[in-house]
Structure 1
Amino acid sequence: MTKEFPVIETRRLILREVTVDDANDMFAYLSDKAVVKPMGLDPFQTVKDVWDEIGWYKSIFEEGTGMRWGITPKDSGKVIGSCGFLNMRTKHYRAEVGYELSRDHWGKGIANEALKAVIRYGYQHFLLERIEALIEPMNLPSQKLVEKLGFRREGLLRHYEFTCGKFDDLYMYSIIKEDVDF
């Protein structure tokens, strides 16, 4: 029996499962270096690269190690980004949150709205106690976003990931259930 993927609705957005039908919309932002560089990725070169990403979303959902929603404005239904959990450790009641958004939609509060809804979902449905965000030191907009939502910077993880041929330092941010007031 397959689990049904949950849909989250906010004031302006529908967060839903992405499918291969969304690949072209996703390619538009995943091929943009400004969008994927903070994720430690090279820009996607083909729609097939997006199919692999969609396959990863599907696998983490089926394995119970994460869940990634496509961010779609109610007025278009077009996928303009994604947000969700990875590295979920239910035994320890924690998960990492990640997100990206098409550059055309930066600065409009969309990432804030989606991230807030996903965090709320994690606390209510997965009974998480702790949600982490790993953010590159140069990614100031992402740091401001999570801090606005109540995340606290806990420290610098030196050479934490090897991506795009180099070692990356990452700030560890976290929010625990009692910190949330939304």
Structure 2
Amino acid sequence: MSTETILQAMPIYETERFLLREIRISDADDFYANLSDEETMRYYGMAPLTEPEKAVKMIESRDLDRQENRAVRWAIARKEDDRLIGTIGYHHWDVRAFRAEVGYEINRAYWNQGVATEALRAVLRCGFGEMGLNRIEALASPENPSSIRVLEKVGFRKEGILQEYMHYNDRFHDAVMMALLKRDDQA
């Protein structure tokens, strides 16, 4: 398998209710609204944003991350109005090891509506397809059973607890390591 640039262009995916597309500067207000919300960011692994300009800088860095095979992140946009309600994507992409970590955040108004599950199924196809991954990992807070259920619903298995693995909001946090291997993918 080749380890050269895999994603020359940003893939776009359509699900029943959403369009998974590139995050645009025009999404900055909605992106900032999500990343500045304390409840949305509670288990995300970083402190909520406090400056809208940081959301813009994050959007601007996405294309370079993809081109250099470090990360790829999609806007989860409603089909009816193309409005961003969350993002999903891969980071810690190790091309040589054929693995990456998936993560997502969804606007609180859309929790418990199957958004993450629907979007995750689409990006798993990209991970095991265009990206050539063999292993997709996810870290979830043990205190966030909703996210663990989403991951289990699409086939991820718990591999163990990483004690005090993350540090945000001035304290250490455990993480549940979950993974899905290409041979086990049912998405």
Could you say which TM-score interval applies, normalised by the shorter chain?
A: over 0.9
Where in structure 2 are the equivalents of 1:29-178 lying within 5 Å? 29-178=34-183
- Please state whether the residue corresponding to 2:84 is helix, strand or coil: coil
In structure 2, C-alpha distance between the alignment counterparts of 1:58 and 1:181, rounded to whole Å: 29
- Percent identity, aligned pairs only, is 36
> For 1:51-89, what per-residue CA distance to the aligned partner results, in whole angstroms no more than 9, with x for missing partners?
122134233212211100000010120111000100111
In structure 1, C-alpha distance between the alignment counterparts of 2:93 and 2:45, rounded to whole Å: 20
Q: Normalization by structure 1: what TM-score?
A: 0.94
Partner of 1:181: 186
In structure 1, C-alpha distance between the alignment counterparts of 2:176 and 2:61, rounded to whole Å: 24
Greater fraction of residues in helix? 1
Gaps of 5+ in 2: 1-6
Q: Shift of the alpha carbon at 1:167? A: 1.4
In structure 2, C-alpha distance between the alignment counterparts of 1:49 and 1:97, rounded to whole Å: 22
Amino acid of the structure 1 residue aligned with 2:152: E
What value does the CA root-mean-square deviation take over the aligned residues?
1.4
Question: Does residue 14 of the first structure (1) align with residue 19 of the second (2)?
Answer: yes
- The list of structure 1 runs, each at least 4 consecutive aligned residues, that deviate by more than 4 angstroms after superposition, is none
In structure 2, C-alpha distance between the alignment counterparts of 1:114 and 1:148, rounded to whole Å: 12
Q: Normalization by structure 2: what TM-score?
A: 0.92
